[in-house]
């Protein structure tokens, strides 16, 4: 049995990586990773990638969907527990060396696997699938581009909605509605709307707080198109802007633009982080930049490679990453600006096109 041409190169790359661990079998329990390898989008499934083929085990709710989406895979349908079905069908056998991603396999499932298959050697291999998936093909980039186009369109529309007295949660609801209206499958993550002193919270989810004059408002949102996500952040000011708000906005914008200029194939991910961090540090706000510069996006909002001080990644053509420096001052507020970019050999391609000049509404 062989997989379809659409997925075969991904599985071939996986097998090449597994050779390092002297394994020919991979257990896939992460649903985004399973979708990447098979196309299956159901909410319950386990994949077994073998040298001779691939098997998808799911429940009866997804019988038709699995056979339609995971073409080329052997589909096993059960009315019971997926791991019990693996044992019943003798898919894993004594003496096998089975690789797994210890970052995505929950302990309760791992314990059950060891109990059901005492003769199987389970080998943690880290994020090998995510590392393969970090390099996107043209079809994947096209889907991410479509998602960014929708988010850009929505950002332009909601600017007129940002006024004193409007609830953060209502802005988030408008974003969700408008992204859906333009063809998104849904939000990529819970929308962040953080205004006033709450904008100093990097992940301040939309609350019941009302927008007020003078507020910095951080808007971080994205949508999903055919499983692939967008992730954009813009910060605006309501009413009269405080001098320090303008100052930190200009610093963050400079840091972001310089970092984007540094994104290209062959560059160390931590070096790109360092470009933005050095600018913010030089301006005296280094202690207020409290997260990494960015992360990969794809089927998940946070993927490889990470643009972080600790990252060992070297950027490759086809990586799609966010570039999102920020300054967050407790008791005052914060600014973050984020774009999605595709790594190329030369200057990167910026997918998000929303304006980045300071909007004072």
State how far the Cα of 277 lies from the Cα of 324, in Å rounded to an integer.
11
pLDDT tens, 173-228?
Answer: 999 999 999 999 999 999 999 999 999 999 999 999 999 999 999 999 999 999 99
User: Is-same-fold flag (5-133; 138-350)?
Assistant: no
3-state helix, strand, coil in the chain (%, to 5): 40, 25, 40
**Encoding tokens for residue 351?**
């997918």
Q: What is the mean pLDDT of the chain?
A: 96
Domain ranges of the chain: 5-133, 138-350
pLDDT tens, 89-137?
Answer: 999 999 999 999 999 999 999 999 999 999 999 999 999 999 999 999 9
CATH code of domain 138-350: 3.90.230.10
Question: What percent of the chain is predicted at pLDDT more than 70?
Answer: 98
**Encoding tokens for residue 14?**
């996986």
Taking 80 as the threshold, does the pLDDT of residue 25 lie above it? yes
pLDDT tens, 304-328?
Answer: 999 999 999 999 999 999 999 999 9
**Ordered DSSP codes for 5-31:** HHHHHHHHHHHHHHGGGT-SEEEE--H
Q: What is the mean pLDDT of residues 252-274?
A: 98
**Protein fold of 5-133:** Creatine Amidinohydrolase; Chain A, domain 1 (3.40.350)
Measured CA angle at 324 (ends 190, 268), to 5 deg:
125
pTM of the model: 0.93
State how far the Cα of 282 lies from the Cα of 125, in Å rounded to an integer.
40
CA–CA distances in Å: residue 327 to residues 218, 246, 287: 11, 12, 9
């Amino acid at each position: 049995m062989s997989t379809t041409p659409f997925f075969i190169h991904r599985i071939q790359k996986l097998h090449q990586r597994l050779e390092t661990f002297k394994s020919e079998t991979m257990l896939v329990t992460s649903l985004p990773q399973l979708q990447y390898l098979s196309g299956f989008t159901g909410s319950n499934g386990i994949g077994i990638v073998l040298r001779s083929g691939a098997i998808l085990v799911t429940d009866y709710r997804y019988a038709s969907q699995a056979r339609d989406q995971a073409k080329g895979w052997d589909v096993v349908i059960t009315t019971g527990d997926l791991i019990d079905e693996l044992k019943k069908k003798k898919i894993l056998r004594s003496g096998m060396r089975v690789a797994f991603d210890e970052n995505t396999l929950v302990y309760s499932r791992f314990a059950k696997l060891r109990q059901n298959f005492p003769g199987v050697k389970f080998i943690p291999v880290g994020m090998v699938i995510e590392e393969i998936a970090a390099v996107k093909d043209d079809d994947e980039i096209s889907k991410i581009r479509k998602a960014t186009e929708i988010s850009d369109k929505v950002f332009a529309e909601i600017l007129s909605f940002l006024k004193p007295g409007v609830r953060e949660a209502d802005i988030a609801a408008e974003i969700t509605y408008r992204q859906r209206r333009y063809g998104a499958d849904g939000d990529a993550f819970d929308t962040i709307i953080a205004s006033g002193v709450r904008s100093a919270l990097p992940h301040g989810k939309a609350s019941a707080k009302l927008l007020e004059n003078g507020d910095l408002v951080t808007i971080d949102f994205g949508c999903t198109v055919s499983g692939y996500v967008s992730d954009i952040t813009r910060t605006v000011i309501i009413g009269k802007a405080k001098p320090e708000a303008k100052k930190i906005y200009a610093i963050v914008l400079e840091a972001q633009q310089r970092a984007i200029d540094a994104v290209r194939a062959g560059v160390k991910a931590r070096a790109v982080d360092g470009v933005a961090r050095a600018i913010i540090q030089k301006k005296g706000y280094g202690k207020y930049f409290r997260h990494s510069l960015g992360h990969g996006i794809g089927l998940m909002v946070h993927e490889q490679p990470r643009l972080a001080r600790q990252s060992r990644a070297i950027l490759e053509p086809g990586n799609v990453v966010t570039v999102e420096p920020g300054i967050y001052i407790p008791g005052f507020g914060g600014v973050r600006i984020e774009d999605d970019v595709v790594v190329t050999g030369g200057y990167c391609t910026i997918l998000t096109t929303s304006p980045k000049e300071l909007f004072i509404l």
